[in-house]
Amino acid sequence: MGDLSRFILALAGAAALAGSAIAADYRADDAYPHYRGGGYGPGGIGGTGAALLDPWLAGTRAGQRLVLARFDRNHNGEIGSDRAGQANRWFRRFADRDRDLWLTDREIAMALRQLDAELR
């Protein structure tokens, strides 16, 4: 099981216990750490919506570049909750290649690689 799979399972468990709060510890090569009980947010993205971003957007450089390039309308490095929701929905539709409404590790990884290549 890959790191992303373990993270998604941990996230699902945490969400079940804490409602919509993300409370899982996570650290990947291209990610920022999530600390239990702390909303430290992704590097480079601030605002009220930063903590609402899906982990693959907030915790990867490609995801952060996407959010800042396409959803930070005034280019100040901050997004609101409405923009975070738009970014999450856009990425989920973009990544869900087989349109089964279920994102797999492979779909997420492929989408992030594609975005990384496009946004450089």
Domain that holds residue 62: 3-119
* Between residues 32 and 52, the one the model is more confident about: 52
Half-sphere exposure in the Cβ direction for 117 (13 Å, CA): 5
| Count: domains in the chain | 1
pLDDT in tens, 107-116: 999 999 998 8
Determine contact, residues 15/8, Cβ cutoff 8 Å: no
| Residues β-bridged to residue 107 | none
pTM for the full predicted model: 0.64
Asked whether the predicted pLDDT for residue 104 surpasses 60, the reply is yes
- Check residue 120 and report its DSSP letter: -
- Distance in angstroms (rounded) separating the CA atoms of residues 104 and 49: 24
Asked whether the predicted pLDDT for residue 82 surpasses 70, the reply is yes
